[in-house]
Structure 1
Amino acid sequence: MATFEEAMQLIINQAESLSTKMTVEDKAEVTKAGAKVFEQALAYEVRNRHYRHRDTGEDPHLADSIVMKNKNIDGVKDGQSVVGWERSTAKGSNAKGYIANIINNGSRFPQFTTRSGRKYKKPGEVAVHADHFIEETRKNPIVQQGILKAEAEAMRKIINRKKKTNYIKSQVKTDF
């Protein structure tokens, strides 16, 4: 029979193996589950607030161009997931990150310029008022609860998979 100290050490080792000693792939799997939920919630929010039912041609709507990447903001796979819009990489590209930033944070000046680059304002033109739809979606308790449930389910699958592999390893050791 194990002593109290040995039993506590076993519990600590099991908890560490499931939390701090997770592989990058396992962390990415957990954050990807939460990112999918946030991506759906953000698309829903953008459609409700900023969608016009019109033909946009080849240029997709802001709600249709939300992307989820299973990498960090720099493109390195370290267990993080990112939800948002693509950055403009070339002049004239159809990246929506710039537009989403203006709608979310507002603008100080009207979004019109002359060919020479000087900003001007016609009568009746106003700056874009901030909507803060990204922050409101992120802080929404229903969305946060959905993200946590999805991440908990992904974590549960990882734990069950690790338990199963550990059980199989222990059976193999005892058979031989």
Structure 2
Amino acid sequence: MVSFYDAMQLIVDRAEELSTKMTVEDKAEVTKAGAKIFEQALKQEVLSRHYRHRDTGEDPHLADSIVIKNRNIDDVKDGQSVVGWERSTEKGTHTKGYIANIINNGSRFPQFTTRSGRKYKNPGEVAVHADHFIEETRNNPVVKQGILKAEAEAMRKIINRKKKENNL
């Protein structure tokens, strides 16, 4: 017969195995499930607030440029997932991440300059007012609930897979 201490230790060991001792691939699988939900919510928010029904040519719309990376912000695979736009490159700073930052946080000065390089405000030029659509999407309780449900489902699949592997 197993002692009470041994039974409790077995429960703790199994719980640690499924939580803190998860592999990087399993953590990435869980966070990617939540990232997909956040990507859909962010895309819907951008479309509802900042979409003009016009032809953009070869340049895709901000909502169509949202990417998911199964790595952290420093491009290291540690189980985190990142949702957003590509960083600015050396070729130019006007990438979608740059544009989303201006729309989200606003600008203090007008974003357009004259051909002579004049940066001061002329009649008709205005600074961009902050919209904070990223924070509002991130803090939306419905979106948070959806992310948690998706991550819980992914975690449930991992637990069931580990149970089958260990014949529990």
If the TM-score is normalised by the length of the shorter chain, which range does it land in? over 0.9
CA positional deviation for 1:3: 1.1
* 1:158 to 2:158 alignment: yes
Larger displacement relative to structure 2 (134-143 or 69-78):
69-78
Residue 100 of structure 2 is matched in structure 1 by 100
5 Å matches for 1:21-32?
21-32=21-32
Paired residue secondary structure (1:68)? strand
Preserved CA contact (<8 Å) 1:112 1:120: no
CA displacement at 1:107 relative to structure 2: 0.3
Q: Which runs of 4+ in 1 moved over 6 A?
A: none
TM-score, structure 2 as length reference: 0.96
Question: Structure 1, unaligned stretches of length 5 or more?
Answer: 171-176
Task: Note if contact 1:59-1:94 (Cα within 8 Å) is conserved in structure 2.
Answer: no
Deviation sequence 1:1-30 (CA, Å, 0-9, x none): 211111110000000000000000000000
Greater Rg over alpha carbons, structure: 1
Task: Compute the RMSD of aligned alpha carbons.
Answer: 1.4
Aligned to 1:120: 120
TM-score (norm 1): 0.91
Gaps of 5+ in 2: none
Equivalent position SS for 1:74 = coil
CA distance in 2, matches of 1:117, 1:141: 45
* CA drift at 1:116: 5.1
Instruction: Count the aligned residue pairs.
Output: 168
1:125-144 pair list within 5 angstroms: 125-144=125-144
